Structure 1
């Protein structure tokens, strides 16, 4: 990377808190967690979302285990790929199950979009080289145009759901002007520019291609923030009808009570009728109200929302503990954290 590009990258990341390391953004939450931990035990979040999530969704959750507990038809067709398995064997299983390509591969216990990739064909799958130490899941990739992250919380008293955060993913793309090549179009957009070096390395695009005027090119199919997706706050769309639809989905996830559901669908009209949609992923106690990453929101706004959600999380967990639920032992929590840190480092 040229010195000028390195400086621009540093400037973009420094001036936009959404790109800061999460450990810095979370400093106020660490303080709040310590306070709640003194009162309820430091592994209190692990009592939530049982039995749907083994550890409440705070760390080291298996996507495959959640898939097996989710009603049939809610999630895309999914196959488990054990660590060290031969991709050729997995390709045969894909054929037997009549799963269609493209597929999206995800580490079974990964987080923050690490290790995710799209596999376009059986040929690509046979040449796929996943990390040999980790389990993966392979899902049919559904190219629905809309994807949201809906944070829902179930009141422990009246058992009713409320939607506390609504975010829509805006996939990264550029529009041609008939004269600029692809690299010039990417450089004109700070969010796209941050991905330029990655595209150079993987040769995904011919950066000298000139797009016709008005032609839109979607640059990234995976709706992950670290891959350039923009998160838009759509909380104003959270009306009674949408809340009812989301409640119908959440009610079918056994024991789920706090977290974010990532959902893809064809259109708002069809989704409200629960047609042409899919539950892509469910996140529990470690999930964020992702609307805070809207570029229009300040860091102070984000802190306020994060602290509010974390306080609600502790309130729910405290009620669970009062009714007899037992958090995991601190020793076990430390082991899980160690394994998680190892996983995230190796997936980089």
Structure 2
């Protein structure tokens, strides 16, 4: 598995630097970003924001985080102080991209081929509730078929607002992180595959040393903008990537496993080619020890 992307630590399976991967991409596709090895002071973060010409809101996230853990939208100094109070290390400061639509584009290329292919596209819908002028937030969370699944997270995030009553038809966005573990809904958008310019993804991917398998998580103004190549890459995931369209509620479990197994087979084929070129796998004890050290 770790041979699928020999240029990424552990193939991008876990514990790899997202910042190191992103900074290899052409700047036109990237949000403005900065990296802090140690926990920065509020002053240091704001100093970097000024250098990058950023204003609130911004995104702060762990360099090696997974499934949205530790990713927060920072709206003001108080949010920033709260985030830094946990003494996080190796964190990324990132421009908040206002483009409203988030997509996951799965890209695969065999080392022996110059042209890759896009095998999955997912549209990430946001989690939100709509007020009725009567029930408070906690009640609305419990009534929402998806919010109820994240009730502990939402109770903590909105601890000081649980008794708030929204106006009738007032919308409250609960998660704009585009992550399944944060409540986002994944919608199959594979109808876009044939409209996307694979050559563009080949060109972008060629900037990354030893990259053959992964998912680009991007934001764009619309499907049309995505098709035109007008997007920003928020993250590039390695061999831990999944063809996220399988999580569409309308997809059958049979088709989900079928697509998942097909992607696992691609990992095997890519790894086999890279092994022939002299690359070696990360020893299993090393992987286990790294997981234990996390």
Give the TM-score of the pair, scaled to structure 2.
Answer: 0.89
Cα gap change, 1:128 to 1:160, in 2 (>3 Å):
same
Matched, 1:56 2:19: no
Runs of 5+ consecutive residues of structure 1 not aligned to the other structure: 1-44, 343-348
Structure 1 residues 89-111: Cα deviation after superposition (integer angstroms, max 9, x where no partner): 22222223322321111111111
Instruction: Name the CA distance, whole Å, in 2 between partners of 1:60 and 1:144.
Output: 29
Matched, 1:230 2:185: yes
Deviates more, 1:204-213 or 1:304-313: 204-213
Aligned-CA RMSD value: 2.4
Cα gap change, 1:59 to 1:159, in 2 (>3 Å):
same
Instruction: Name the CA distance, whole Å, in 2 between partners of 1:335 and 1:227.
Output: 28
SS at match of 2:27: coil
Does the 8 Å contact 2:104/2:218 carry over to 1? yes
Aligned residue number for residue 90 of structure 1:
45
Does the 8 Å contact 1:199/1:205 carry over to 2? no
Structure 1 residues 255-286: Cα deviation after superposition (integer angstroms, max 9, x where no partner): 321111101011222232233x2101001111
Select the residue among 194, 206, 220 that pairs with 2:175.
220
Structure 1 residues 108-135: Cα deviation after superposition (integer angstroms, max 9, x where no partner): 1111211221211244324433543631
Does the 8 Å contact 1:88/1:125 carry over to 2? no
Aligned residue number for residue 295 of structure 1:
249
SS at match of 1:166: strand
Give the TM-score of the pair, scaled to structure 1.
Answer: 0.76
Runs of 5+ consecutive residues of structure 2 not aligned to the other structure: none
Matched, 1:336 2:290: yes
Structure 1 residues 231-275: Cα deviation after superposition (integer angstroms, max 9, x where no partner): 111112211445445444334434321111101011222232233
Instruction: Name the CA distance, whole Å, in 1 between partners of 2:205 and 2:176.
Output: 26
Does the 8 Å contact 1:245/1:272 carry over to 2? no
